[in-house]
Structure 1
Amino acid sequence: MKEDLIKMLFQYREAFTSDNQPLGAIKGHHVDIILHIETTYPQLLRIPAYPASPGSREALEIHINVLMRNVGPNEEKEATTPVIIT
């Protein structure tokens, strides 16, 4: 299987190569990632998880509770209306 792939790549090499990127050219990249738990900006500049007004969030919570009450523990039910957060 690997040999068939290699044959196909060389047979159609014009589709997979360019003048500055020949077939078989491998360029590596090294990225240092520093993990930390401190926030890098003030708390007030953070975007809320759900960018909706308090009224919209309350309406959404009511809608979810109604949907959850209508579905029994062993029952599957498709939602008939989409939930849109604006």
Structure 2
Amino acid sequence: MTSLFPSPHPPLPDFSTLLIAGPYHASAPIHLALSSNLNTPRSRTILFAPSRSTLKQDLQRFNDSWLTARSGNGATSELASNVIVL
């Protein structure tokens, strides 16, 4: 299921489009994109960020242990290759 958090996680209801705004942790958009791609093979996720550099800095500061442990994993890398950040 699609989520803003790593497994085990509270899933979001089914959706075809989604806009999320609010004070979520820095890696929430990444978890959303990865879990969305996992649930729908051959799909792409477009992530709109007000500032790519700020998103990158926030991710580095947050230092998500789940992403750190799995970012070099082939399956995670494949999912990430289908995420477009604008």
Give the alignment's TM-score, normalised by structure 1.
0.22
Q: Where is the strand percentage greater, Structure 1 or Structure 2?
A: 2
Give the alignment's TM-score, normalised by structure 2.
0.22
Higher relative contact order (CA closer than 8 Å, sequence separation 6+): 2
Higher Cα Rg, which structure? 1
